Amino acid sequence: MKNLILLAVQGAGKGTLAKSLIDKFGYAHISTGDLLRERSSIDDDLGREIKNLIDNGIFAPNDIIFKAIEDKITKEECKNGYILDGFPRNIEQAKGYDEILKKLNKDIGIVLNLTIPEDLLIKRITGRRMCKDCGAIYNIYSDDPNLLPEKDNVCNKCNGELYQRADDNEEAMKTRVNTYYKVTAPLIDYYKEKGILYEIDSTEAPKTLAQVEELLKKLGE
């Protein structure tokens, strides 16, 4: 399988797509935060260095992230393809990743840029509700009955109270979106110039997955 890099603003459905691809094709999922926490549990020089950063609330510098990424993608679990989620975040990281791949003689694969209309994004963010007890996520504006709470502010799974995160409002959402596009726009251009970036409409999860499946089929996967 081709390795995938997912680019998407918060609320575009990146997590849903990643889970579907993992379940269907057996991709390994590499999220930077999860990777660093996982790697910090290994008692070697890199693991201890990452653990020290995490314990002291210090963001991992690029050289540490690069080492963790390089270590991860050489594992057996990544042999048949992996999804990068949350990496690279900028041009510096993209170039660093290119160097890792060159060193390991690995193919970069393709980059999926998930797109979504702003009005739908607002609904996804402002309609999101989370259970205080079990962490289940719902959306009061969703067309998917599985994402709708059966009772107002009550979790379907455990009857826990649902709440809205303080930053799940339109003003905060627009700030996050503007910041994302400012940082990510150069990255989109970078991969577009390489000829490996594909725009994917993430308006509806089933159709999003179907688009990616069709793309992979077209590319011979």
Active site residues: 14, 89, 128, 165, 176
Q: Taking a C-beta distance cutoff of 8 angstroms, is the pair 112, 6 a contact?
A: yes
Rounded Cα gap, residues 131 and 110, in angstroms: 36
Record the tokens describing residue 21, joined without a space.
């691809």
The set of residues, in sequence order, having a beta carbon less than 8 Å from that of 183 and lying 6+ positions away, is 89, 90
DSSP state string for 194-213: HT-EEEEE-SSHHHHHHHHH
Residue 165's φ and ψ, nearest 5 degrees, are: -60, 145
d(CA 90, CA 151): 42
